[in-house]
Structure 1
């Protein structure tokens, strides 16, 4: 079959997909468009300079090996970069050859678009002051330093940090952060605003909840000050709007925000939005507004895994100057897994009870005090417990499961332990692999597939797994 840019790139993507997390693949590789293949040079189009720099910094080794695998030792990759995405002008592009270490392309000059007129008359300017003064409405405690990174939020945090360093200058505009209650959407969104105010104090930043924005709009209609309202928000450099799902059913408010959004986006200003659902699942919003929410990056915050929950608790204790036994921290993190807010609330409750009763916090006190929290949560079975149960069932030493031995009975116990850890915990594949002897995520995927195949084809093996699962449910 004749090689084309499309099939070569698709073959490359198959390898890349197996070597990086799914969310990272969707964010950094799905938007890439293969353009042409000339001799051994594959040209791909990426959405922005920031996008190119991220690929060269984080994935250059993987890209180089993948391209050479399909195009030979002379295989090279060139980038076609869309510098500016705006409805008022055609995008600029430039070819940047991958240097292998990402250094060559970054130094080449790129034509930049003409800046839009920033001169906006604003009725809120205070007499006697040259510039508009705005209280950004930010909580100073919401910073990147206080936001613990984990597999559950790494993409959103990385994108947020990039936006904070270069607001309006990345392809993440708007940046939509979505997820369930208490997972840190407001914290991360405001952390971006605080970072901008720290490094670029002249930038006009405003944080506003969607509910408050809607109320302000209603008030401006009553007071006949709608122009003042629109001009104020159009004067901002960065708007951080919380809970945009509350726009549902408010057609007039959606219409006014649509025009504010367009003005800011075309002026190179930054919009940061939060929601409880991704744009595609938001109901009651006009299609034209939803389409704009999809222009940039939608990044989710999921429930933190065990390691991240423990890190959150340790960070909070450090900030409060408190020390707790490690078994207490592990107990709380293992049993409170709904969201970060509930996790911190459980710790606050535990500390309050300890202070009031003048008792030292130990595991027994933690179990007693947190009954109300734990009763309302679905208890997560730990990997330690799964490993212990499997080893007891097959009568193999626990330490052997983490070893490099290839003995059949040990490999079987290890693979079943990995399979059950994936099925019964919210731990990432990477963390499961690390727990079972420092293996990578591909080993975990292989183990799970092997167990599933044996369950389908081996009745005796299927009975083993079902017996262990029954014991897990009874625990």
Structure 2
């Protein structure tokens, strides 16, 4: 029965995985039973060598290009099963060659390069790169993917933001195709997920990602994650996922030093064929200290102003532009910072704001913190609620409505909001 029904399927699989010279041996477990039908002795195994036949070559399989004929629905809407023929979503400008190394990023870059040289074959699996906005997390993730594709064109490499992953999962749930969604991601050789902290508070998304992560890790595939914070600070993330994030290496990206900032500017100028006076480059590097993205933005703005106004780039022009640029650059505050400012203003301990207490003054401060968190950050309502004592998104919505109503009817309350908005704007 075994050979009659399954030998072709087994032969194809063995040929595919082990090569044409592989042989199959299998054991048949038989039980010795007495007259009563109960087992009288331990089962024994008989080794049965496969009949002397070679594993057959897989027949050519021609898949239809029509999406409805594809056995597994690809969430990127590109059909194909045997070999995932997908766009890796990698930006060719974000290569290792364009990434300036400094003390601020040396560990992350070195680990990234090691992973690119031997995907799935180092102890850096997963590799989690974390740091504040604009320090190069996304650039480094793309660089790893590009280098792997350059060295191993046959590997399926996929870069996807956690937000895109979540939206695809929601679509899969809606279309009753969650198994197809999971199977698709399990067939990838290298998975790069950007801003993994976006999964915070999304239990179902975390659950499906947990199973995809396990499958990829167990089959020796490479996983690269980026986040704005280390695992220990990720709130709203399941413990089983956080523990897996720590299996490999967590490498942080710090604010670049003055020398690194100058090297970044010089690299940009060289790439664009632009020359600037040394004093201008130094002034930009001294003035913009927060992150690389702002630094690049300042240089682009300066070149644009010079070109549009037909003015030479001088130190005076750089100073005028930087004054406006720094003033107009919106700095996103964090939920933690908002909570601190609110607690300082009302002279309340932070732990009370995050507690379950229903005292009127605490509830009001908590609602104001929720209101400013929704207004001044990109965090989801669920994430804001988590930071404010484990509340749900409905509680956050109610808090925002309450604050909006009170500021229209209570002048003292409106004064609180005006004072706090000024304090938060200084950040």
Q: TM-score range by the shorter chain?
A: 0.5 to 0.7
Q: Give unpaired runs (5+ residues) of structure 1.
A: 1-118, 378-475
TM-score by length of structure 1 reads 0.53
Deviation at 1:199, TM superposition (A): 1.1
3-state secondary structure, aligned to 2:169? helix
The runs of at least 4 consecutive aligned structure 1 residues that moved more than 3 Å come to 124-130, 374-377
3-state secondary structure, aligned to 1:240? strand
- For residues 290 and 122 of structure 1, do their structure 2 counterparts lie closer, same or farther at Cα, with a shift above 3 Å needed? farther
Quote the Cα distance in structure 1 between the aligned partners of 2:79 and 2:318.
Answer: 58
Q: Deviations over 1:147-206 (max 9, x none)?
A: 000000000000000001110000000000000000010000110000011111110011
> Are residue 274 (structure 1) and residue 223 (structure 2) matched?
no
- For residues 276 and 308 of structure 1, do their structure 2 counterparts lie closer, same or farther at Cα, with a shift above 3 Å needed? same
- For residues 274 and 129 of structure 1, do their structure 2 counterparts lie closer, same or farther at Cα, with a shift above 3 Å needed? closer
Q: Which residue, 109, 117, 124 being the options, matches 1:157?
A: 109
- Which residue number in structure 2 is paired with residue 8 of structure 1? none
Q: Give unpaired runs (5+ residues) of structure 2.
A: 1-57, 59-69, 330-427
Deviation at 1:287, TM superposition (A): 0.2
> Are residue 289 (structure 1) and residue 241 (structure 2) matched?
yes
Counterparts of 1:33-432 in structure 2, within 5 Å, are 123-124=72-73, 130-375=82-327
3-state secondary structure, aligned to 2:192? strand
Kept in 2, the 8 Å contact 1:169–1:268? The answer is: yes
- For residues 297 and 127 of structure 1, do their structure 2 counterparts lie closer, same or farther at Cα, with a shift above 3 Å needed? closer
Deviation at 1:134, TM superposition (A): 1.4
- Which residue number in structure 2 is paired with residue 435 of structure 1? none
Q: What is the RMSD of the two structures over their aligned residues, measured on CA atoms?
A: 1.9
Q: After the TM superposition, which of the residue ranges 221-230 and 122-131 deviates more from structure 2?
A: 122-131
Kept in 2, the 8 Å contact 1:164–1:196? The answer is: yes
3-state secondary structure, aligned to 1:356? helix
Quote the Cα distance in structure 1 between the aligned partners of 2:249 and 2:149.
Answer: 22
Q: Deviations over 1:402-428 (max 9, x none)?
A: xxxxxxxxxxxxxxxxxxxxxxxxxxx
- For residues 274 and 372 of structure 1, do their structure 2 counterparts lie closer, same or farther at Cα, with a shift above 3 Å needed? same
TM-score by length of structure 2 reads 0.58
Q: Deviations over 1:254-311 (max 9, x none)?
A: 0110000000001000000000000010000000000000100000001100000000
Bigger radius of gyration among the two: 2
Kept in 2, the 8 Å contact 1:220–1:229? The answer is: yes
Quote the Cα distance in structure 2 between the aligned partners of 1:187 and 1:291.
Answer: 25
Kept in 2, the 8 Å contact 1:303–1:339? The answer is: yes
Deviation at 1:127, TM superposition (A): 7.6
Deviation at 1:360, TM superposition (A): 0.8
Quote the Cα distance in structure 2 between the aligned partners of 1:199 and 1:135.
Answer: 17
Kept in 2, the 8 Å contact 1:210–1:246? The answer is: yes
- Which residue number in structure 1 is paired with residue 365 of structure 2? none
Count residues in correspondence: 258
Q: Deviations over 1:184-229 (max 9, x none)?
A: 1000011000001111111001111111111111100110111110
